[in-house]
Structure 1
Amino acid sequence: MHGDDERDALVLSLMRAVRGFGDSHDRMSAGMKQGMAMNASDLAALRLLIIREEEGRPVSPRDLSTHLRISTASTTKLLDRLSASGHVRRAPHPSDRRARVIELTDAARHEFFRRFAPQLVAMREAMTGFSVEELAIAERAFRAMGAAIDLDV
C-alpha cells in the first residue's frame, strides 16, 4: 500500500507543478497581450499559426475556429482584426484553389519572437539538466494532462 500512497503524492505534486506552469504561462501571455495590444484569442491564434508553421502545416479559417472554439463569425472578426493590424494575411491554399489559408506576416513573426525569445531561451536552458528519457516522459505526461483538461464539456 505504501507504493500507492507514494504514487498518489507524486501525481498530486505533478498536478501542482503543471498548475504552476499554467500560472506562469498565463502571466507571460498576459504580458504579451498587453505588449502586442491583443486579446487572448488573438494571441492564441498567433501561437497556433507559429506552431503549424514550424510543422509545415497550413492553417485554414476553420482550423482557427475549431482550435479557438469560436464561431465562424467570430473567426472572421478575429481575422479581420489581425489582418488590419498587420499580423496575418489571407493567402491561397497551396493545393486547393478554392480555399484560403492564414499566414503570419514577417512583421508579426518578428514581433512575436522578439517578445517571446527570452522565455524560449530560458525554457530550453531549464531542460538541459534532463536526460532524453526524462524529457520523453515529461512530454508524455504534459500531453496526457493537456488531453485530460481539453475535453469538450
Structure 2
Amino acid sequence: MSQPWLAESSHDQVVTDVLQGVRALSDAMDRMHSGMKGDMEMNSTDLAALRMLIVREGRGEAVSPHEVASHLRISTASTTKLLDRLTRSGHIERRPHPSDGRARIVVLTDESRSTFFRHFGERLRVMRGVAARYDEEELAVIARFLAELSDALDPR
C-alpha cells in the first residue's frame, strides 16, 4: 500500500515532518491527560471540563453550562450529571452570572485549581522550558500555526 501523501518536494517533506510532529505531540498530550486523569481520580470528560475552565479562566471569560456542553459535545442532560459530579467532588461551583441574574456560570474552586496545577505544574514548567528556546518571532509563527491548525480541525 502506498502512502496517501508522498513528498514530491523538500517543502512537502517539511510539511510531512511538521504533521508527524503534531501527531507525536497529540499522542504525548493524550498520554499526559491519561496520567492526570488517573492522578486526579476522574474520567476523561471531567478532566476535559476542568481543562476548559482553566483555559477560559486564564482568558478572563465566564463559562455557562451550555458552553461546557458545547465544548465537550455532550447533551444538556449529560452536562448536568457532569456538573453535579464535579460539584459534589469539590471541583466546581455554580454561581449567578455577573451580568444576567437569570443565568448561571461554572467556576473552579480554589482547591480544584490548586490540585490541577499541582498535577500539571511540572509538565507546564517543562513545556515552558522548550518554548523559551525560541525567539519571539519564531514563537509568533508557532502560535499562529497552532491556532490556524486548531481552527481548521475544530471550526466550531
TM normalised by structure 1 equals: 0.94
Partner of 2:19: 15
Give the letter for the 1:131 counterpart: D
What is the Cα deviation at residue 28 of structure 1?
0.6
Structure 1: distance between partners of 2:108 and 2:38: 19
Aligned residues: 149
Give the letter for the 1:63 counterpart: E
Partner of 1:87: 91
1:56 pairs, out of 51, 60, 67, with 60
Alignment root-mean-square deviation, CA: 1.2
Structure 1: unaligned runs, 5 residues or longer: none
Runs of 4+ in 1 over 6 A off after TM superposition: none
Partner of 1:126: 130
What is the Cα deviation at residue 148 of structure 1?
2.2
Partner of 1:44: 48
Identity of aligned residues (%): 50
Structure 2: unaligned runs, 5 residues or longer: 1-7
Structure 2: distance between partners of 1:40 and 1:143: 23
Structure 1: distance between partners of 2:154 and 2:17: 20
SS in 2 for 1:97: coil
Identify, as 1 or 2, the structure richer in helix.
1
1:25 pairs, out of 9, 26, 29, with 29
TM normalised by structure 2 equals: 0.92
Structure 1: distance between partners of 2:126 and 2:18: 21
